[in-house]
Amino acid sequence: MIKVAVVDDEALVRAALRQILDSADDIEVVADCDGRDALRQVHMTRPGLVLVDSVMPGVDGIQVVRAVRALPEPPAVAMLTAFDSGELFTDALRSGVAGFLLKDADPDTLVDAVRVLAAGGSVLNPHVRHTFADVLRPQEAAMPSRATTALTRLTERERQVLSLVAIGMSNAEIAARLGIGTATVKDHLRSLRLKLGVRTRVAVAVAAYQMGLDTLPGRSCAAP
């Protein structure tokens, strides 16, 4: 059973998300609260995934993400957003989010995204991905060879793993696709983070997008 905590300042939004997620046989919403009560609820209920509203009064989403990710054994955290702010997404990436979901996502997409995140995958909604592209484009203009240079440092296996991370696969799915062990996948991911100069899995997916490695057939980089 996938245990989820929902953090949003609007009670109606929390109720709607609870109804959608609880309708899935393998998902249980164990807590829903605003930002001020998030850390206490996470301590009490021990969810495997926390969905956090990006903008809340008092304690905002980035603060909640940082506090949850600072726990000794932190759950995965994904950000719920209705905004296109590149600055917000960049701050969230640095804080350790595993993905971004738009609040107006349809129920099936939301449920599938929770399953991907709970399995250790990353979720990058196409709309959010395009916002990242707009933010990154001026940087790429200033340093046009950066992505190419990073790509040349990767082994063929690391490129394969990077492409599969970009389309949202979990470690277990990557291992099955490539015929290797999950421990080996983790080793490749550690090497990728080092070579790409990033700290989180979703940042690896963003890097793959910059390199044009997110177009494999099958699942989309939106994951789902």
pLDDT in tens, 36-58: 999 999 999 999 999 999 888 88
Cβ proximity of 68 and 5 under 8 Å: no
Mean pLDDT of all residues belonging to the chain: 81
Q: pTM of the predicted model, to two decimals?
A: 0.70
106-128 residue pLDDT tens: 899 899 889 988 888 777 765 55
Which part of the chain is CATH 3.40.50.2300?
Answer: 2-118, 131-211
Task: Calculate the alpha carbon distances from 7 to 101, 108, 175, 182 in Å.
Answer: 13, 20, 32, 31
Max mean pLDDT range (142-151, 170-179, 189-198): 170-179
- Top CATH class of 2-118 equals alpha beta
User: In the CATH scheme, what architecture does the domain 131-211 have?
Assistant: 3-Layer(aba) Sandwich (3.40)
- Residue 82: which of 10, 139, 135, 165 has the closest Cα? 10
- Report the SS3 class of residue 56: coil
pLDDT at 37: 94
